[in-house]
Amino acid sequence: MSEIGHIRIAVTSNDLLQVDANFAQAKQIVFYDVSYDDAEFVDCVQFKGGAVKSGGGKRGPGGGAGCSMGDPTGGAAVDQIQIRVDALTGCDVLFTLALSDFAAVNVKNAGVFPVKMQQSREIHEIVEQLQRMMKNSPPLWLRKALGYGRQNAEYLIEREA
């Protein structure tokens, strides 16, 4: 889980610039750390040919799976949805064009809030809208992702001083 005031988002993308892919067919999942005033690229997990190496692929410098060389089993039945869900470890919110009910349940069970977009949008637009929501009156799912109500002794001590 992210620190209070920060959320880690995941974006399904085929071009690394916009949310333009369905969860199950995305060529990559891009990760950002978003705070009230800043956003930072964290990592990217890439899927080659709709598959990832079992075990999650190679880890990139930001902790993601980095570049993948495809399915080492030669196309045996590998649960692609679960591989993608496993890649979301540490994320709070997933932005995607579409995902099946089965995928949505698995994503939610992994502690990630899925947001289905109605159309393709630039990643920077999503980040800006998310920051506006964070600064104003965030909806309940965003409050939870931001850590509202979570006990944090250091934060409470600093607040009182």
- 73-83 residue pLDDT tens: 444 323 788 89
Q: What is the band of 147 on the pLDDT scale with cuts at 50, 70, 90?
A: confident
Q: In this prediction, what percent of the chain has a pLDDT beyond 90? A: 53
pLDDT at residue 53, rounded to an integer: 40
Domain 6-160 falls in which CATH fold?
A: Nucleotidyltransferase; domain 5 (3.30.420)
Using DSSP, state whether 23 is helix, strand or coil.
Answer: coil
E-state strands within the chain: 6-13, 18-19, 28-35, 39-46, 93-96, 113-116, 121-122
Which CA distances in Å does 29 have to 62, 123, 129? 13, 12, 19
CA 27 from chain centre, in angstroms, equals 14
* In the chain, where the domains are located: 6-160
Write down the pLDDT at residue 58: 42
What is the average per-residue pLDDT within 77-105? 88
Output b/e per residue, 9-46; b: 16+ Cβ within 10 A.
bbbbbbeeebbbbebbebbbbbbbbbeeeebeebbbbb
Confidence label for 67 from pLDDT (cuts 50, 70 and 90):
very low
Average pLDDT on 101-110 reads 93
Three-state SS for 52-91 is: CCCCCCCCCCCCCCECCCCCCCCCCCCCHHHHHHHHCCCC
Q: Per residue in 27-54, pLDDT tens?
A: 999 999 999 999 999 999 998 655 444 3
Q: What is the mean pLDDT of residues 62-78?
A: 43
pTM given for the model: 0.74
Q: How many CA atoms lie within 13 A of 126 on its CB side?
A: 29
pLDDT tops 50 at residue 118:
yes
